[in-house]
A and B are shown apart, each in its own frame.
Chain A
Amino acid sequence: MLLTDLDIGKEAIITAIEAEEELKNRLYSFGIIPNEKIKVMSHSIGKSTIEIDVDGTLIALRKDEADKIEVSEVK
C-alpha cells in the first residue's frame, strides 16, 4: 500500500521509494529509507499534507510525495 492510504496513528515499514534521484536523496537525508519504521501523525484538510514520525523526527510531506512511498502496515 501507499503511505497516503495509511490512517492516522498507524505504523508501517517502508518497502520501496519510487522517486527520481533528487527527491530520493532528500527523503534519505531525513531518514526516510526502505526498512525504516514510520508512523502517520496527522493529515491536513483534504489530506493535502501528511505528517509522519520517522525515528523521532516529525516530517511533513505533500500527498504527491507520499504517493511515491510504498509501505507495509505493522498490525
Chain B
Amino acid sequence: MEIQKIKVLMVGQPNVGKSSLINAISNAKLHVGNFAGVTVEKMEVVTRYCDESGCCEYEIDIVDLPGAYSLNDFTMEEKVTKEYLLNEEYDLIINVVDSTHLQRNLLLTAELMELGKKMIVVLNMIDEARAEGIEINTKQLSKILAVPVIATSAKTKEGIEDLMKAIVSVYKQTQTNSKIIYSDFIEEEIEKLVKFFQEKGYKSDIPYRHLAIRLLKEDTQIYKKMHEDPIWIELLPLLREALEHIYLHTGKKNISEIFADEHFAFAKGAKMEVIATKNQRAKNITQKIDNLLINKYLGIPIFLFLMWGLFNLTFTLGAIPMDYIDGFFGYLAEETKALLGEGELASLISDGIIGGVGAVVLFLPNIIILFLGIALLETTGYMARVAFLLDGFFHKFGLHGKSFIPLVTGFGCTVPAYMATRTLKSKSDRMITLFILGFMSCSARIPIYVLFAGAFFATKDAGNILFLIYVIGALLGLVMAKILRVFVFKGEDDPFVMEMPKYRMPSLKLIYHVVYGQAKDYLSKAGTFILVASALVWFASNYPKQPNIESRYNQLITQTQDKNRQDQLRAELSSKLLEESYLGKIGKFTEPFFAPLGFDWKLGVALETGLAAKEVVVSTLGVLYSLGEEVTEDSKSLQQKLKENLTLPVALAFIVFVMVYIPCFASMAVFVREAGGWRYLGYLFIMTTSVAWILSFITYNLTRVLV
C-alpha cells in the first residue's frame, strides 16, 4: 500500500512544552534541543492508522516552529513563524497550548484560526493543570473552536496516541470548520462578504469566511493576491463600506486593535466556559522561590554565586576524567610509534593527529558540565529571572535584559549564542549583542586558560582564575556595549516585556538531548576539523626538510661524548629546523606585529592558527614547544616548557589576547548571516583584534613594571 505524507506545523507560544511534546511523539528519536528556540526543526514519524475503509500507512513530517506569543512580527522568531505559516505548503497546524495559561494561549489560537488552515488544538501539560486544580472541559472547547481539542502530557504520554489519530482524521477533511465568533457587527459584515463570494462563485483555497475575515483585517498578503483579480473592482466598495461600519460601531479607527479586542473577548469567553478552577497550589511554589531568587538584595549575589559555582565545578569535577583521557591518548601515541617505527608517517599520526585531536577531546568533560549547567538554567525558568534582575544594570550599558540569554549561551559556544540573539527585537540591541558576544569566553578557550593557569598559578587557584577570566571578559563586553551604543548603534530602545515562566523541574530527557547534542557536535568537530588542522600544523612545522642543517648537527652530536652537550645540540637542531619550516617563516613574518606584546613568533603562530578554532591554539603550542614529544597540553612537559620559556607578563598578555580576539571560523560564518553582511565581519575583526592588541599591550607593560 502506498504511504501518504502529511506535513504538520507545530505552533505555540514559548514555554508551552513543544520540544518535550515532540520528544514524546518521536519516542526519543534523537532530537537536538534548540537554544532559545530559534531554529526551525523537522522530524518524521511513521504511523499506521486504521478505520472502516481499511488500514493505511502515513508518514507524518512535523515541523517545529519557533515559539511566538502572537503573529505580529514583534521578534525575529515571530517573524520566522509567521512567514512559514503564510508562505509554506503544509496540511495542518497543531497549535500547542499551555493548559495552565489557557486564556493567554487562546489569543494565539484565535490568530491561527483566522489563517483558515486545518487545525488541531493540543492542551499540553494537562497533568500540571490538574495538579494545580484546573479542570478543562475539552469537549466543550472543541465545540467552541470547531476544531479537535486533545489533552496531552509529554510527561505521562497521555493523549499522544489520540493526537496521532487526530492528525490523520483532520488530514482527511477537505476544509476547516474552525470558527471564532465575533461581535455581531463584525459577523454581519463577514456574512455580507461571504454572500458576495458565493454569488460570484469565487475560487478560493481557504473558506470564504476566512477570506472575508482576512480582508477585514487588512491582511497585506491577501490584498496583494486579490487586487490583480477582476473581482477586486466590485469587492473594494463593499470592503470600504464594511470597514466604515466597523469603525462606527467601535469608535476606533485601528483595525488591528479592534481585532485584538475581539480575540481577547473570545479567549476570555472560551476560558470562562470550559474551565473550572478548584484551588491554585503550584503558583504559590513559584512565588516562594521567586521571593528568594529575585529578592531585591539577595537576587544578584545568589546569581553570582551560582555562576561561580558552575565555573568551579567545570574545572574541578571536569579535571577528574581528564587524567584518564590524557593517559589514553598518550598510550595511543606511544603504541602508534611502537607499531610504525620512527618514520615520518608515525610522526604525522602520533605527534600531529593523535596529539592534536587528543588535546581537544581532553576537554570534553569540562564542556559537558558547562553545557549541562546552561541547559539547567534555561529549562528551569531561571534565565528569565536573571534577565529581570539584570535589565536595570544592562540597560545602563545600552544592552537589553534579554541579551543575557545569548550572553550566557556564549560561555558555552558562540555559534548558538549568535543565533539566540534573534529573541531581541530592535536592530541596534541585536547588533550590539552580536558584536560583544565574542567577549564571553566560549568553552573552546578553556583549554588555553587551563594550560596557562596551570603553568603559572597554583592548582587550587585555577578555578578562581578561570572565574576571574570570565568576569573580566563579561565586564569588558559591557564596556564595549556602552561604547557601541553611544557611538555606533544609537537606535531606539526596545521595550522590555517578558514572560517569567513557572519554575519547572527540568525534564531529564530534554537536558540529556541538549547536552548529548552539544557533546556530539564537539566530538565530531574534533574528529574532522581539528584533525585536519592538526595534520596541517604538523606539516607546516616539519617541512620543508633541511638536510644540510640536519647532517651538520648530527655530525656534531656523534663527535661529542658529553651527554649534556648532546641534548643541548639536539634541542638547538629542532629549534633551528622549526625556524626554517613554513610555520616558522609565517611566524617570523608576523613577529613584528606581536613583538610589542612580548610574544615570540611561536605564540604569534599559535594565535594565528587559533583563528580557525581556539582548540587549535593549544595543539599548535604543543607542536611548537615540544616537537617530537607526546603532545597533550595537560601533560606536565608542555606546562613546564611554557613556564621555562615565558615570563608571567607574557603569559598574562597572551591570556588577554585570547579572551578578546575573534572566536573561530564557524562563528564568523554564523556572524555574517546573523548580522546581515560581510562588512560587519570586517568591523568585528578589526574591533576585536585592535582591542585584543591594545589590552595585551597594557597588560604586558603593566605587569612587567609591577611584578
Contacts and interface: CB of A to CB of B under 8 A. Distances in A.
Interface of A: 21-33, 41-46, 48-49, 51, 54-62, 64-65
Nearest to A56: B101
Contacts of B299: 44
Interface of A is mostly: mixed
Given A51-B294, A56-B101, A31 B497 contact: no
B391 A62 contact: yes
A21 B256 CA distance: 9
B496 A60 contact: yes
Interface in B368-407: 384, 387-389, 391-393, 395, 401
A12 B296 CA distance: 22
B294 A55 contact: no
Given A25-B260, A57-B104, A44 B498 contact: no
A24 B264 CA distance: 13
Contacts of B495: 23, 26, 62, 64-65
Nearest to A54: B104
A26 B69 CA distance: 8
Given A25-B74, A29-B69, A46 B392 contact: yes
B296 A43 contact: yes
B296 A25 contact: no
B496 A22 contact: no
- Dominant SS at the B interface? helix
A59 B498 contact: yes
B385 to A, nearest CB: 9
Contacts of B391: 44, 48-49, 60, 62
Contacts of A42: 290, 294, 296
A30 B499 contact: yes
Given A44-B388, A45-B296, A56-B101, 8 more contacts: A31-B103, A43-B296, A44-B392, A48-B392, A51-B290, A62-B395, A62-B495, A62-B496
Nearest to A20: B495
A48 B399 CA distance: 14
B76 to A, nearest CB: 14
A66 B498 CA distance: 12
B100 interface: yes
A24 B257 contact: yes
Interface in B661-689: none
Nearest to B104: A31
Contact of A51 (B107, B261, B388, B501): B388
Nearest to B396: A48
A25 B500 contact: no
A42 to B, nearest CB: 6
Q: 6 shortest A-B CB distances, which residue pairs?
A: A48-B392, A29-B70, A62-B496, A58-B500, A29-B69, A60-B388
B203 interface: no
B221 interface: no
